[in-house]
Chain A
Amino acid sequence: MTITERDRHYVSTTLSEARVNLEIETDGMTLNLGPQHPATHGTLRIIVKLDGEQVVACEVGAGYMHRGYEKLCEVRTYPQVTTLINRIDWLSHFANEVPFILAAEQLMGIEAPPRAQYIRTIFHEMARLGNITLFLGEMGLQLGAMTATFYAFRDREHVLNLLEAVTGGRFHPNFDRIGGLKDDLPKGWVDECHAVMKKIRGFCDEMEDLVMGNEIFQVRTRGIGIIPKHIALSYGLTGANARASGVDLDLRRDDKDIAMAWKHADFKVWTHPDGDSFARYWVRLQEVRESTYIIDQLLDGLPAGPIMAKVPRIIKVPAGEAYVQTENPLGWMGFYVVSKGDLGPFRVKIRTASFNNTSVIPWVCRGLYVPDVITVLASLYFILGDIDR
């Protein structure tokens, strides 16, 4: 069953190159989207070969933001690495730190105290809120609905303020430490957080009416850029992109061994069977709502106690290998860390969600019209730093 599908994929990719329009003899046209196109979230270049207005072949040119983090990690000590990896996916800041810190902790054989685990999970979810609320507005912007963006920036501000109150940083908290956290929560923060969660749920309702209920939005997203389930799995799509294709995978629920507090929260993992751009938007909207409920539950159950385990002052990680991945806002983010017992890692492989999520673009864009390419790019939702690292 999958063999024929694979064959079809390869045959169609090669055949489409050679296709000619028999009715009117037209030359193909090559259109360059980017690297400086507002719809590509930064410096990503999409080269599309057009036949009329239809995309015949599509190629992605990444690397305009390649900073070589895997190489840079090798010359830093473990605590210094978190500063770097904050900037991989700059909207998910804290969520990037978590898998690396967990991998280092796994190698050292220590575990953060429960309170630290709870606060970590809360911040991880808040990174999701900050990230995905922006998407919910931005998707409207890319389809021509400017209003939604302003709502998104307004409500994202509340989340960033909360983060700033604890960590001092709005974009790059650099708050996670091997063995726990840098600081505890300030007084009164929990109540404020509950209030913000209510606001975010209100924002979700607004977006449901304003964007998802909009007829133009629906026409432009429904049935556009359909990714079937087996393609999503084979390309390694994760996060909402995979769940919108009916893949029921969420590491927050499925990974029971990880030292995070998701196992103490009750939440639903939303999937959508359609796999089109609308489904991806819909799943993300539900996720934001679910995320606010997770935070509410964790705040209610926040245990008392220390926020830092006993850790030597100079951190030397024993030799070994560890791979930890978590469900980040954009999908799975994993760190494969090899240690030789030094102050710094020997090799760090960073598995980012956007890298796999964008690799499907050449597949999904074939046969689309040019404006639909923008819809697909917007709905796949990648961050350039997350592709290029």
Chain B
Amino acid sequence: MSSADTDAPVAEAPTDERRDALVARVQAKLGAGVVETHVIPGVDAWVRVTRDAWADAAQVMTDLGFTFFDYLSAIDWYPNIHGKNEEPPTNPIVVPATSAELEHGVTGGETRFQLIARVYSPEEKIGLHLKADLPDDDLAAPTWSRVYFGADWHEREVWEMFGIDFRGHRNLAHLYLPGDFEGHPLRKDFPLLARHVKPWPGLVDVEAMPGEPDEDEDATEGGEGE
């Protein structure tokens, strides 16, 4: 075992035939339900479907042999208005009025909340992410728990953490939080009180060491002891 190639870059523009074929198969089955697809060669792939096709998507995936349920969760694209308590209070973060003005990053999506789930094929040994945007005025999606039993708890978690309703779920009860809890903790507009009570001491870690010139680049962390 020699260390011949330490950081040899991979060939440019790699293609991933397995994932491309998989996405094509899903697209053929779901038809107009597919909004957008994306393949990261050699890494992952995702398919974004409309909310109406969310239930069909689960059925289609099981039919394609993706019988293993990995996880289901959601993303809130709202800016982190409470910040990390790093921003001065005189300089508040501008909050967009509508969800269309939000900055959605690169994961695809047009609204504030996005569902994300992953299924896996035990035969083909390949996984696929599925995404769906939820409209702001109607935060709900059809349940997956009748197709994938494992989605039961995941949907309960998303329900209490994000306030997204799952239609057809037979037991949307609190999983983690006490029954009378108010608010949805994983939403970005829910304050993390611990940060407001006490300033975060870990901030010093990202500043330059005292007595050192400010150099951002070419200094490796954790090299030989100084």
Binding site for B on A (CB under 8 A): 2, 6, 9-10, 62-63, 66, 68, 70-72, 74-77, 79-80, 106, 110-111, 113-115, 177, 179-183, 230-231, 233-236, 247-249, 254-255, 257, 264, 301-306, 308-315, 319-323, 325, 332, 334, 336, 338-340, 343-344, 346-347, 349, 351, 355-356, 359-360, 363, 388
Interface flags for B202-223 (1: CB within 8 Å of A; 0: not) read 1001101000000111111111
CA distance A37 to B118 in the complex (A): 34
Chain A: CB-nearest residue to B209: A313
CA distance A75 to B90 in the complex (A): 20
Closest 9 pairs between A and B when the two form their complex, measured CB to CB:
A63-B176, A236-B150, A305-B3, A301-B1, A236-B69, A351-B71, A235-B150, A66-B176, A359-B153
Q: Which of B22-30, B47-55, B99-107, B132-140 contacts its partner?
A: B99-107
CB distance from B224 to the nearest CB of A (A): 10
Interface flags for B144-175 (1: CB within 8 Å of A; 0: not) read 00111110111000000100000000100011
- Asked if A71 and B192 sit within 8 Å, CB to CB, the answer is yes
- Asked if B69 and A308 sit within 8 Å, CB to CB, the answer is no
B218: chain A residues at CB < 8 Å are 310, 312
- Asked if B3 and A231 sit within 8 Å, CB to CB, the answer is no
CB distance from A72 to the nearest CB of B (A): 7
B202: chain A residues at CB < 8 Å are 76-77, 80
- Which of A76, A233, A305, A338 interacts with B122 by CB under 8 Å? A233
Q: Can you identify 26 A-B contacts, CB atoms within 8 angstroms? A: A2-B67, A68-B185, A71-B190, A74-B80, A76-B202, A79-B221, A80-B205, A113-B7, A177-B221, A181-B222, A233-B67, A234-B69, A234-B149, A235-B69, A248-B122, A249-B68, A249-B125, A302-B1, A305-B6, A313-B216, A322-B43, A338-B107, A351-B71, A351-B118, A356-B69, A388-B176
Instruction: Tell me if B177 counts as interface (CB < 8 A to partner A).
Output: yes
B192: chain A residues at CB < 8 Å are 71-72, 75
- Asked if B220 and A114 sit within 8 Å, CB to CB, the answer is no
By secondary structure, the B interface counts as loop
Binding site for A on B (CB under 8 A): 1-3, 6-7, 42-44, 62, 67-71, 73, 75-76, 80, 84-85, 103, 105-107, 116, 118, 122, 125, 129, 146-150, 152-154, 161, 170, 174-178, 185-186, 190, 192, 195, 200, 202, 205-206, 208, 215-223
CB distance from B53 to the nearest CB of A (A): 20
CB distance from A122 to the nearest CB of B (A): 13
CA distance A229 to B116 in the complex (A): 25
- Asked if A303 and B215 sit within 8 Å, CB to CB, the answer is no
- Asked if B185 and A323 sit within 8 Å, CB to CB, the answer is no
Chain B: CB-nearest residue to A109: B9
CB distance from B97 to the nearest CB of A (A): 20
- Asked if B220 and A308 sit within 8 Å, CB to CB, the answer is yes
B175: chain A residues at CB < 8 Å are 62-63
